[in-house]
Structure 1
Amino acid sequence: MMKVKNVLIVEDDARIATILAKTINKREEYEVIGIASNVTEAIDVIDCFAPELVFLDISLDSSCGLDVIKYIRQEIKENTPTVVMLTAAKDVEVIQKSVASGVFDYILKPISFSRLNQTLQRFADYSNKLETRQAFEQEDVDLFFGLQHGEELRSGAGSDKSEKLSLPKGVDSLTLEKIINAFMHDPATAYTAEVMADSIGISRTTARRYLEYLLSVDRVKADIEYGTVGRPERRYIFI
């Protein structure tokens, strides 16, 4: 049985941090053991709980996420955590510094759930290889460095092949990502099918189909609200 990996989220946007924690905790291989909003809090959690994986926002209020990486590289001699950058920063210099610092992955905001799950799966596979002391082949190394995801991984969006195959008829990954990203942009909002349709430019019927799909896989919950004329309407809330 695979050992559960402890995860630290370093993110100063409480809404994003909460969504990340809920998504990560849905996977049996992981447990979020802390959320830090700045470098000092992150270092305290790392020192006290030794997480195996750190999701790190590079642009924290009044501090830089790279300082966390610097501390890990200089001060942590054993059980060094693996770092995934999680940020809206897209300029070349920031990405170059992150790659040079040896991060495991770099995910841009707004976060794609399929992209996040790709990273979680790659790290789980990587950790399992290390724990079972299996020899690494080139295809393993390619997988761990994201070289088998093709255009989907390079674009930072879309689903992996297994996720695409599991989607029901009438639900495509691109439209699904647009709807999920709408929730991610404002997770506190309860969307009706009509509001979601207007938000991303699709028909109300299409929006309802995708929202019902997300309800069926426990990504959203639905409440019924009655309008002024008594007509019930479902409002979908991200969970």
Structure 2
Amino acid sequence: MIDVVIIEDDPMVSMITEKIINTEKEFNVSKTFFKGEGVVDYIIENNIELIILDMYLPDTEGLNILEELRKREVKENQYTNTIFVTASNDKEHIEKAFKLGIVDYLIKPFEFERLEEALGRYLSKKIVSSSKKKILTQDELDKLYHGRNNEINTLENELPKGISEKTLEKVMNAVVSDPMKEWSSKEIADLLESSAVTVKKYLDYLTEIGKIKSDISYGSVGRPEVKYKIKM
């Protein structure tokens, strides 16, 4: 479970953001702050992995918090990922935020799907960075350092009815996380904490459009099982 801290002075925006995040099984909002006081200490002491940060707060600016956090992290050997959610569309603010290593920057008012996309982008980065592989493909490098998911971006613009782009991305990321492995639908379902039937539908669709390949595995006991693997 990924612990998230929200720093947002607007109670309504904070409540909506928390609700969106908590609908994602991988995330849990552990605390909400309405101003900057005490934020950095809490993040460091609890080793928070991800923060949702507003730019304008009653007592400080989000960039000031992020700068202080980066200084403390060097001493504590920690790193906190950041997604800005703010009304600030000032180019200087945006450029400085990305120089400080943020994951994404959302300008208010934002669409719910855009926040979900930002969370998905963070998960993509986490899956690749936590992999034991020592050599990366170009696509994995792009996911890790440029926030891109080329596997999903190359899909057709119109997805079939019943296929969600967000779920499709999660299933694809699971397969990509170990390119040499042959996955069963149950293994990926367990990894994503989802239904095997649902996952199989997405795996079959990815096979149909040529992103992955499937083979039938004949074990020594029991019925044959379909295995899925990334196309190299």
Mark yes or no: TM-score above 0.5: yes
Look up the match of 1:55.
52
Q: Hey, what's the Cα distance between the residues in 1 that align with 2:114 and 2:65? A: 23
Quote how far apart the aligned CAs of 1:132 are: 2.9
Q: Hey, what's the Cα distance between the residues in 1 that align with 2:32 and 2:89? A: 24
**Runs of 5+ consecutive residues of structure 1 not aligned to the other structure:** 154-159, 169-239
Which secondary structure does the structure 2 equivalent of 1:102 belong to?
coil
Say if 1:136 and 1:122 are closer, same or farther in 2 by CA, change over 3 A.
farther
Query: Matches of residues 157-172 of structure 1 in structure 2 within 5 Å?
Result: 165=159
Say if 1:126 and 1:62 are closer, same or farther in 2 by CA, change over 3 A.
same
Say if 1:11 and 1:116 are closer, same or farther in 2 by CA, change over 3 A.
same
Look up the match of 1:141.
141
Query: Matches of residues 144-223 of structure 1 in structure 2 within 5 Å?
Result: 144=144, 145-148=146-149, 165=159
**Runs of 5+ consecutive residues of structure 2 not aligned to the other structure:** 163-232
Say if 1:147 and 1:128 are closer, same or farther in 2 by CA, change over 3 A.
closer
Query: Which 10-residue stretch deviates more, 137-146 or 89-98?
Result: 137-146
Q: Hey, what's the Cα distance between the residues in 1 that align with 2:148 and 2:43? A: 30
Correspondence for 2:36 among 36, 39, 52: 39
Quote how far apart the aligned CAs of 1:166 are: 6.2
- Letter in structure 2 aligned against 1:32: V
Say if 1:91 and 1:132 are closer, same or farther in 2 by CA, change over 3 A.
same
Q: Is the 8 A contact 1:39 1:67 kept in 2?
A: no
Q: Hey, what's the Cα distance between the residues in 2 that align with 1:83 and 1:74? A: 15
Say if 1:64 and 1:75 are closer, same or farther in 2 by CA, change over 3 A.
same
Quote how far apart the aligned CAs of 1:140 are: 2.1
Quote how far apart the aligned CAs of 1:163 are: 9.9
Say if 1:18 and 1:148 are closer, same or farther in 2 by CA, change over 3 A.
same
Q: Are positions 1:89 and 2:101 aligned together?
A: no
Quote how far apart the aligned CAs of 1:44 are: 3.2
Q: Hey, what's the Cα distance between the residues in 1 that align with 2:100 and 2:148? A: 19
Say if 1:125 and 1:43 are closer, same or farther in 2 by CA, change over 3 A.
same
Q: Is the 8 A contact 1:86 1:108 kept in 2?
A: yes
Deviations 1:161-197 (A, max 9, x none): 79963667xxxxxxxxxxxxxxxxxxxxxxxxxxxxx
Q: Hey, what's the Cα distance between the residues in 2 that align with 1:27 and 1:92? A: 31
TM-score by length of 2: 0.60
Deviations 1:6-60 (A, max 9, x none): 1011101111111111110111111110111122232232133221001110111
Q: Are positions 1:109 and 2:103 aligned together?
A: no
Structure 1 vs Structure 2 CA RMSD:
2.5
- Letter in structure 1 aligned against 2:138: Q
Q: Hey, what's the Cα distance between the residues in 1 that align with 2:113 and 2:69? A: 28
Which secondary structure does the structure 2 equivalent of 1:60 belong to?
coil
Count how many residue pairs are aligned between Structure 1 and Structure 2.
156
Quote how far apart the aligned CAs of 1:111 are: 1.7
Q: Hey, what's the Cα distance between the residues in 1 that align with 2:4 and 2:52? A: 8
Q: Are positions 1:21 and 2:15 aligned together?
A: no
Quote how far apart the aligned CAs of 1:129 are: 2.1
Which secondary structure does the structure 2 equivalent of 1:63 belong to?
coil
